[in-house]
Structure 1
């Protein structure tokens, strides 16, 4: 009789003790492909679950995973993970689009590659979301500094006389499309053959394109 009671108690423990992971494993799920550097704990955090629940969902007895492997993850967590906070976008008026294209042409001319033109436009867009700069494209371009203005073409007064090309406009449009997800975050650029400013030269480099070095 005592052995029967012990057996029943053990069965009850197995039934109720594992209810959490089993319940999640029985729910709806989707698949996640493991990337290099992923860990079970990181994936569990991303999908708002636990490592033990992930193991149960995938029938795993360990936490070892490899790049390329497909894991079952909670579908609800997938929806949450795939809907990050909305990133700031910019609505560009026709006048500001032309002004930025003029700046791009003034700073790059015909000697810089298209990618360099795009990055110059991105510098302006990135500044609009940085606390040290104005919040608008026009405000950034006409920002005053101790030396007069942030951009030389504005300082010399020739910016509005410049005629941008189709490529300059295309670079502005490309930068506008890239801006919300731009990871480099370039805030400055200079020509190393011309610039001698120690502060500028000390900035972390984000990318080098043509004759320009971009920094943040």
Structure 2
């Protein structure tokens, strides 16, 4: 009898111990880049978590954080409102504008509507603003991945041979104008008839335009 009680006590202790662990420790997470003025409490509030959970998730011993550091934050939590409402306007160099128009043409051709072209351009601009991606248009478009490059036209070498149309340039300009107020925050796009990647297909859908599904 005593042995049975002891076993039950240990089991209950283990169960309670596992419940006391931060939920983020067993869940998925993403990264947040620390900016000037940030504190752990401020970031915790933005991501609907606690300072203790953030410290546990990142192995921090104190509340001190360094500007530019990347912290793990709960991926399931709501993104901070400033991620969309507080975006700064983007101005493109002539070279970046052409490169982005080339990508828009390469990814949409003449088969996608103008709104789809604008959304593709917004994906690039949103990535530039997002801490998980390079912070320049060229850096985002030529970002290297495990499979090569993030975009097929770059992988195939087709991108540099593309001649963008006036509509592609207009789509880029429209995206730049819309960007500061863009609340969809699309970071990815794919053709559901072609894409088989389970991770990509699991991303939250922001909108569907033409043959493309946009997600974040």
TM-score normalized by the length of structure 2: 0.60
Aligned-partner Cα distance in 2 for 1:86–1:153:
32
- Structure 1 CA distance for aligned equivalents of residues 160 and 211 of structure 2: 24
The offset of 1:119, in angstroms, is 0.1
Look up the match of 2:118. Answer: 118
Partner of residue 93, structure 2: 93
Deviations 1:117-146 (A, max 9, x none): 000000000001111100011110000000
Mapped to 2, the partners of 1:86 and 1:119 lie a distance apart of: 19
Deviation at 1:88, TM superposition (A): 1.4
> For the residues of structure 1 that align with 2:86 and 2:211, how far apart are their CA atoms?
35
CA distance in 2, matches of 1:87, 1:159: 28
Segments of 5+ residues of structure 2 without an aligned counterpart are: 1-84
Give the alignment's Cα RMSD to 1 decimal: 1.0
CA–CA distance in structure 2, aligned partners of residues 212 and 204 of structure 1: 14
Cα distance, 1:198–1:86 mapped onto 2, change above 3 Å = closer
Partner SS, residue 213 of structure 2: strand
Partner of 2:108: 108
Aligned twin of 1:143: 143
Distance apart, 1:86 and its partner CA: 5.6
Max radius of gyration: which structure? 1
Map 1:19-38; keep pairs closer than 5 Å: none
Instruction: Please give the alpha-carbon distance, in whole angstroms, between the structure 1 residues aligned to 2:193 and 2:86.
Output: 40
Partner of residue 175, structure 1: 175
Work out the CA distance in 2 between the residues paired with 1:180 and 1:192: 28
Q: Is the 8 A contact 2:188 2:215 kept in 1?
A: yes
1:122 match: secondary structure: helix
Aligned equivalents of 2:100 and 2:185: distance in 1?
18
Separation in structure 2 between the aligned mates of residue 101 and residue 111 of structure 1, nearest angstrom: 15
Offset, 1:87: 3.0
Q: TM-score under structure 1 normalisation?
A: 0.60
- In structure 2, do the counterparts of structure 1 residues 86 and 191 end up closer, same or farther at CA, with 3 Å as the change threshold? closer
How far is the alpha carbon of 1:91 from its aligned partner?
A: 1.6
Structure 1 residue 116 displacement after superposition: 0.1
Higher relative contact order (CA 8 A, sep 6+): 2
How many angstroms apart in 2 are the aligned matches of 1:87 and 1:179?
A: 8
Contact 2:123 2:185 in 1 (8 A): yes
Show the 5 A alignment for 1:151-166: 151-166=151-166
Asked whether 1:202 is paired with 2:168, we answer no
Q: Aligned residue pairs: how many?
A: 132
Please list every run of at least 4 consecutive aligned residues from structure 1 whose deviation after the TM superposition is greater than 2 angstroms.
Answer: none
SS of residue in 2 equivalent to 1:186: coil
